[in-house]
Structure 1
Amino acid sequence: MLARDPAALELRADPAALAPERLLVFEVRGNIAAFAKATANVPGLELIDEEELASDEDAAPVAYLLVPDMRALRQIESLWQTWMAGRDLPDGHTPWRDVFACLRDLRPWGPGDRVQPADATILEEEIFGKADDEQIPLEVEIVFRPGAEAASANETNVTRAIAAYGGVVLSRARLDDIAYHAVLARLPVGAIRSIIERSPASLAGIEQVMYIRPQSIVTEIDVADTVAPAPVALPPAVANDPILAVLDGVPMVGHPLLRQHVSVEDLFGLEPNALVAERVHGSAMTSLIVHGDRNQSEPPLPRQIHCIPVLGAADRFPADRLIVDLIYQAVTRMRGRPEPSAPHVIIVNISLGNARRPFHGQLSPWARLLDRLAYRFGILFIVSAGNVTDEFPVPGFDNTLDFENAQDADRARGVVRALADVQADRRLLSPAETINGLTIGARNTDFVPHADRVFARTNINPFPALDTANPSSALGPGFANAVKPDILMPGSREHVRVVRSGAGIVVAPARASRGAGLKVAAPPAPVGLEGAEAYTNGTSAAAALASRTAHRIHDALEAEYGQDFLQLSNAERAVLLKALLVHPARWPEETTALIKGLLGPFGRGQAPRQKDNIRRFIGYGALDPDDAVACAADRATFWAVGSLANERSVDVLVPIPAAIGGRAQPHFISATLAWLTPVLPGRKAYRAVRMKILDPDDIDGLGVAAHKSQPDINQTNRGTVYTRCWSGQRAAIVTPSMSFPLRVQREPDAGGIEDEAVPFGLAVTVAMPGQIQLYEEVRARVRPLPIQS
């Protein structure tokens, strides 16, 4: 008989940190709720939270059952085979019938799980045409064991196997915080061919191996149309006290746009081998963070930014290091003890991604690492969603001429429909699925002067009048169906080029150009130039602008509140910046209507699924950087920071200005809550802490109701950002010095963490367009202070 001890059988969200020799893989089909209900009736089974299981709506969810011993595993296998043969289950095991009815497959963990289909395809491409003795790099994840002795034994077995197959280990990493243990190795093509075939006699058959993946490669950016640099005004003194760090390529520190603004800590010795002419990625990203899009004229940031290169020669990941280890070492060097190199850094820009790791439901080690470091150090990681530059067909247009001459609205509808048809192939790239970080998509806008638009005429603008994501911007959702990307930031008006035409067209995102790009610092192309400028686009650039905006928000708060703001803890300032960065984002009305009308689904009760399609493209919405920083006379934004213990709540009093009272005209109230959660890799719920804003009972008296063009309560409740917006045009009933309580509530924890208070940041805006006295009225009444509960 199976053990009935509730601790004996557990369903887990992630196989990381488990023992695969006692692991059964459940491939769920159909309704997840039915599977959850069925497992509740089986003694000893503990199901992960339903939201964590349903982490990829484009693929069958997978659960993992850890059994106490091999005897139990074989018994469950026997029950499954009995059920599959159509025979009755033995007495006492009838509840398993309903579980099995929800499954597509049940099998022990094996070679087919260690080598995922997408990884096998990449490895096939890697070895094509190569001799059997040629060496190919691989990342081998080892079954994580918490004890040092067991971990060492596992690694020894794996490294011996690698040597036996003719390979060599290049580097290793073991990170307890995220249950990660891996080696980077090189194996001969012949051994890799056996891995691709999932042969039990290959490395894929070694019990201590969790996964075998191709070596990570960085997503590339386009930098094109090099021009001589525009004159650079001498900036005021720049403070050498960074609050923002960049993990990227080696920047060109001698460039006139960068030399006073960037400090480089070459922790991994990558700078000497990075040719100046190849320092493209780091130079472009640091330029955007310091100066913004150079098509505009913006003042540089007042502080230096701290750069630790993680890309070396040719702007690539080092060939002999695991990227997860590089990121871990870089962040702990900056913020760890006893001597952190950048102790005040609370914003970290990562405009990078693993081009070989699209997100399909399972969190990558890189994302898990960012989540853990964010909570441990109180850091806001700002991450690019990823650029997917693969070509795709656009039905409805016979040839290039038809596509080019189509009405703007028809062309936009055709491209949005085409992207939706291939959405499963255009997913976020690791680590963009991070739960604690903000993921940035590329908004189809830039600041190219009108006269320069002609330089893009050889390509076609798919969205001349539509405010949406670029064609190459990776699509959501994120882990556990969380809203991802979080926001869209300017990533240029990306054009497309027709790559095949006749009886239909196939297009691909076009390169950046002077006519469709963001202007950045670049290495010199002509000999003798001290530095040049060029044009870039995409989500890497958008993430850099988001990081710049977060810094600008920090500067504005520091200027307004001085030490009251600066004395907040790193974590409190990080979560406040997180809330304020997302807070102004909105779904563009025309884009919302187009996606809803084009993709549906249609009929009563389909609003949540329609919103799923909208947020897949644009997250919480598009953001104008100036809106996140600038004040306006007819709106007031109130902020608060605090901390909440488990199952506690706090009422934050929101001042209601008399200016909105008695006027039957459009007005709105919006609120954004952000926090950093502890994470539990391999446990029943990865996201340990959940918070929410409760809809006020008396909100109706203010003449507003829940705004329809926003993620619903269930959709916004799946990450670490929670937003609500109420709008209307009925006259509000406002009394003198009126405030209303907005309740922030921490939900019951998933378990497995210490009951400690978790910081949160809250932003609330009250606005009535045209009422110019609104801001000053609220400003006179409010002085934000930390809240504890």
Structure 2
Amino acid sequence: MPQKKYIPFPDYTIIGRESLNSGGRDTMKYPSRKEQKDKFDGPMRELTRTMESRLAEIKDETTGLDPDMVLVLETVGNIGNFYTAVKNTQGFNWLVDSMSESIEENEEFYKDSAPSGKELKCKLYMLLTNRTALEQLLQLWDKFNREEELPRGKKGWREIFNHLKDIRTWGVEDRLQDTGLLERWKEDLEYQDSVKFEIEFWFNNDQDKQRLIESDFKSKIEEFEGEIIDSALIEEIKYHAFLAEIPVVSAEKLVVDFKENNDNKLLKSESVMFFNPLPQADYKFQVEELEESATDTDNIGTTEQTGMEPVVALFDGLPLQNHQSIKNKLIIDDPEDFEDNYLAKYRLHGTSMASLILNGDLNNSFLKHERPIYVRPILKPDLENNFDGQIRETIPEDILFIKRIYQAVKRLFEEGNDGVASEIKIINFSIGDKYRPYLDKMSSLARLLDWLSWKYKVLFMVSAGNKVENFDFEEGEYTKDSLLKNINENLRNSKILSPAESINSITVGAQHKDYSEFSLNSNIHVDFFEEHNDLPSPISRFGLGYNRTVKPDILLPGGRQIYNKNYLPEGNYRFTPNFSPHNPPGLKVAFPGSSPGLNNFAYTTGTSNANALATHKAAELYELLKTNEEFTNIPDDEITALIKCLLVHYADWNNGYELLEETLSQEVNVNYFRKHAQKFLGYGFISPEQIYGCTESQVTLFTTSKIKAEEGHQYIFPLPESLESKTIPRDLIITLAWFSPIKSQFKNYRLAKLYFKPPQDELMLGRSQADWHAVMRGTLQHEILTGDKASVYYDSDNIEVSVNCYDKTNELKKNDFKIPYALAVTLKIEEDINIYNEIEEKVRIINQQREQIRT
């Protein structure tokens, strides 16, 4: 058990940024000019005809809008700075570039000498185009085919033409594809008189153009007998949207026109990027009579008011604030008066989240927080759709959800002079949009969280989302292996839910674990992962994230998910998730019950639980950092980075990799299995029992600072003499965390790429667990190096770890951004040798020597 303090690193030395491994020269084979001409000459010229047709359609309209089209260019492989070429080509306006779904090598595009099945990255460029731009494009295309030199400033077009996989205009399918709108309407059209949806526009920096776009689209909605309920324009994330409502009959016409490819002005609106369903978190609970427990004050801490300022915010449903386990520990801020009509018996999700954040799993609560939490209600009970006896807490559809979150966070830090709760460092966001799984397109909500996180240096804790589904198996086949293979085959349908792809946030998945005691009745229930706690919950969602970042970041217990066993007529069995709150298994939480008492408890499962437990641990870290002397004088924005760093620092795959490998090794290319496993495991599991600090055989050095563009900060970790030449199993764990500014319209969305190169030679170590490419794509780099070979070094030798800041876009330097970061490095050995005192003394000597030099 850790009993010793963390040791601060000696001050860094400023060095130049260490170079990244480039991976060698790109040897991509792409089609010849003749092949590209044969394939794309016709489509290129068809674009002009499409534009002429568009001109003819609108010549009688009086919208004031110039005829524009959105041109989509899809490419394979790495492209140089195409942005400059677009900027220098008259008539084009840059909209977005983003990653597209990868493809396997084929006869057109491959690396090395022949196609071998490798994955190739694809990219989408979306450009606003008018008649002048298309004329320019055809001129450049003809020059390219004649092998003529392209004009200065436009040479980037040559790379695009070489790597071009597809060229087309943004159409109706793009506006609806993978948005979930048609699926949502399929549900709603059956029992509603009208439907609401979000119209997300291509962002235009010209304010006059914005007004014309809004006016034009409002007229189109009115033609469908609809109305605009709300609008939002958030410059910082390039978000421009309407919330519209139309009658069911109009919605049905839109669906028919889409399916039959009929002409429809609304669907063909060039200013529209996406038609989205309104985000919805469908939390359903079967209301049951729950037992009242006697108040156990040892298990829930004090119920007295403490007067401390909150540092954790909960954005969720309204909790039952007088419940004995959370009484006097909540600061409710309800400026929209959600409490009206929010009856006590409906306060389910918010109550359980507050209970877990404050007390942990009440089956076995290791720590109870006395500091209150701030609560902002953003869910409401759906009183109209309780047809199946279940209570639903949903996202209100009166204003755009992104706008509500934007205003709620600004209120924390900017309302009045100082904000309503400006000390907040952590925001729990256990709400996933069930209609928006991450399918290679970054959601606007995720972009918003990233921008807010950077602006206010606040850490969002986001749940990965749940995937609730039934499974059919034959007699004798309902095993761990069968379920894992089924999940693996359908991974695309089990991707994390928006906004879990946010790069500045910590995304939390659910581990199949809790501390309840129960006996499984195998006649009616099945626990597929029984005795296998080092696996994700079967209802947890999986990664990867944006640009193939590691997501979810960490997994914590979400409760053991059992299934009801139902016999089917044909002799098979159908297994349905059991969500009864009445009995274990599950995390034990405060809950209202159908006859709300103030001491009811329930057992629940899912990623919201895991995220609340992770927030509980983050709050524990805050108290540690604010009360221990080694952390004094750390600025608030760096404190948040250090919480992020230390929370992930203890993540480990445990036996999860082996359990996945023994089941799925035949389903996945063995050379890529580690990359595949991280979709399930992220950086690994965090134990709610984790105690922060050092032991004699486990030593952690930490630091926080701010770094400028292209700088390197070099830190030294003294090596203990007692390990020299010894074959002792050892781990070196290094975690770097930071917050990055973003640029919404570009693939280089993350502007600050911080990284370290793990030292391996001094202690004869090798990388393990998460793939080393993936760990460098987000705002967390967590690496575990292991070894047991004897290493030879001198008493004065140190490990050097350099934090580097890569400014690929030059935006950091241009804006004079300084990036707050935190670094933690742990050396852990498996023998009873006191390396702590050795390292602590060496750090003291280094600091003393440097102080003498300064004076």
**If the TM-score is normalised by the length of the shorter chain, which range does it land in?**
0.7 to 0.9
Correspondence for 2:723: 660
Deviations 1:187-240 (A, max 9, x none): 112322343333542422223322111121114265787331342315176342
Distance 1:538 1:75, change over 3 A: same
Deviations 1:481-533 (A, max 9, x none): 10000011111111234567557655444325533200000014346x32311
Residue among 815, 826, 829 paired with 1:768: 829
Correspondence for 2:251: 192
**Aligned runs of 1:580-619 on 2, under 5 Å?**
580-592=646-658, 594-595=660-661, 598-599=664-665, 607=671, 609-619=672-682
Residue among 586, 589, 592 paired with 1:520: 589
Distance 1:583 1:71, change over 3 A: same
Correspondence for 1:651: 714
The answer on 1:24 being equivalent to 2:71 is: yes
Correspondence for 1:290: 358
Greater Cα offset, 37-46 or 237-246: 37-46
Distance 1:266 1:144, change over 3 A: same
- 8 Å CA contact 1:335–1:341 kept in 2: the answer is yes
Residue among 406, 427, 431 paired with 1:348: 427
Question: In structure 2, the residue corresponding to 1:463 is in which secondary structure?
Answer: coil
Question: In structure 2, the residue corresponding to 1:403 is in which secondary structure?
Answer: coil
Distance 1:40 1:165 in 2: 39
Correspondence for 1:431: 499
The answer on 1:53 being equivalent to 2:120 is: no
Question: In structure 2, the residue corresponding to 1:182 is in which secondary structure?
Answer: strand
Residue among 441, 452, 461 paired with 2:527: 461
Distance 1:253 1:211, change over 3 A: same
Question: In structure 1, the residue corresponding to 2:283 is in which secondary structure?
Answer: coil
Distance 2:138 2:197 in 1: 32
Correspondence for 1:422: 490
Distance 1:657 1:20 in 2: 70
Deviations 1:409-450 (A, max 9, x none): xx222211111100111111000000110100001111112x
- 8 Å CA contact 1:647–1:749 kept in 2: the answer is no
- Deviation of 1:679 (Å): 0.4
- Deviation of 1:103 (Å): 5.5
Correspondence for 2:408: 330
Distance 1:588 1:622 in 2: 7
The answer on 1:440 being equivalent to 2:487 is: no
- 8 Å CA contact 2:338–2:380 kept in 1: the answer is yes
- Deviation of 1:184 (Å): 1.3
- 8 Å CA contact 2:196–2:243 kept in 1: the answer is yes
- 8 Å CA contact 2:699–2:836 kept in 1: the answer is yes
**Structure with larger Rg:** 2
Correspondence for 1:545: 613
Aligned residues: 733
Residue among 174, 183, 206 paired with 2:242: 183
Distance 2:332 2:843 in 1: 40
- Read off the aligned partner of 1:347 and give its amino acid letter: I
Distance 1:712 1:110 in 2: 37
- 8 Å CA contact 1:484–1:616 kept in 2: the answer is yes
- Deviation of 1:723 (Å): 1.9
Correspondence for 1:231: 295
- Read off the aligned partner of 2:351 and give its amino acid letter: S
Correspondence for 1:728: 787
**Aligned runs of 1:379-418 on 2, under 5 Å?**
379-392=458-471, 397-399=473-475, 402-403=476-477, 411-418=479-486
Greater Cα offset, 92-101 or 358-367: 92-101
Question: In structure 2, the residue corresponding to 1:205 is in which secondary structure?
Answer: coil
Q: TM-score, normalised by structure 2?
A: 0.79
Distance 1:344 1:73 in 2: 53
Unaligned stretches of 5+ residues in structure 1: 1-18, 405-410
Deviations 1:546-587 (A, max 9, x none): 0111111122222322xx635422321111111111111111
Distance 1:663 1:73, change over 3 A: same
Greater Cα offset, 542-551 or 493-502: 493-502
Distance 1:250 1:156 in 2: 37
Distance 1:738 1:104, change over 3 A: closer
Distance 1:72 1:361 in 2: 28
- 8 Å CA contact 2:484–2:663 kept in 1: the answer is no
**Aligned runs of 1:114-125 on 2, under 5 Å?**
114-125=175-186
Question: In structure 2, the residue corresponding to 1:637 is in which secondary structure?
Answer: strand
Correspondence for 2:197: 138
Deviations 1:381-402 (A, max 9, x none): 1100000102345xxx523xx1
Distance 1:715 1:453 in 2: 41
Correspondence for 2:705: 642
Greater Cα offset, 547-556 or 651-660: 651-660
Distance 1:258 1:77 in 2: 67
Distance 1:625 1:428 in 2: 23
- 8 Å CA contact 1:656–1:766 kept in 2: the answer is no
The answer on 1:484 being equivalent to 2:551 is: yes
The answer on 1:369 being equivalent to 2:369 is: no
- 8 Å CA contact 1:38–1:98 kept in 2: the answer is no
Greater Cα offset, 183-192 or 758-767: 183-192
Distance 2:637 2:834 in 1: 34
Q: State the identity as a percent.
A: 27
- Read off the aligned partner of 2:276 and give its amino acid letter: R
- Read off the aligned partner of 1:722 and give its amino acid letter: Q
Question: In structure 2, the residue corresponding to 1:145 is in which secondary structure?
Answer: coil
Deviations 1:3-46 (A, max 9, x none): xxxxxxxxxxxxxxxx9934212345xxx32x648989999799
Question: In structure 1, the residue corresponding to 2:761 is in which secondary structure?
Answer: helix
Distance 1:149 1:568 in 2: 46
Q: TM-score, normalised by structure 1?
A: 0.85
Distance 1:121 1:164 in 2: 21
- Deviation of 1:662 (Å): 4.0
Deviations 1:342-373 (A, max 9, x none): 11111110011111111101111110000000
- 8 Å CA contact 1:666–1:768 kept in 2: the answer is yes
Greater Cα offset, 649-658 or 166-175: 649-658
Distance 2:158 2:436 in 1: 36
Correspondence for 2:51: none
Distance 1:532 1:317 in 2: 25
Correspondence for 1:64: 125
- 8 Å CA contact 2:537–2:560 kept in 1: the answer is yes
Distance 1:159 1:752, change over 3 A: farther
The answer on 1:572 being equivalent to 2:651 is: no
Distance 1:222 1:78 in 2: 62
Distance 1:456 1:517 in 2: 17
Greater Cα offset, 613-622 or 311-320: 311-320
- Deviation of 1:115 (Å): 1.8
- Considering only aligned residues, what root-mean-square deviation do their CA atoms show, in Å? 3.5
Question: In structure 1, the residue corresponding to 2:409 is in which secondary structure?
Answer: helix
- Deviation of 1:632 (Å): 3.7
Correspondence for 1:6: none
Distance 2:128 2:709 in 1: 31
- Read off the aligned partner of 1:428 and give its amino acid letter: I
Deviations 1:220-263 (A, max 9, x none): 26578733134231517634211111101101101111112111
Residue among 346, 357, 365 paired with 1:278: 346
- Deviation of 1:145 (Å): 2.4
Distance 1:324 1:781, change over 3 A: farther
Unaligned stretches of 5+ residues in structure 2: 1-65, 104-118, 383-392, 851-855
Distance 2:230 2:93 in 1: 36
Distance 1:69 1:21 in 2: 5
- Read off the aligned partner of 1:172 and give its amino acid letter: S
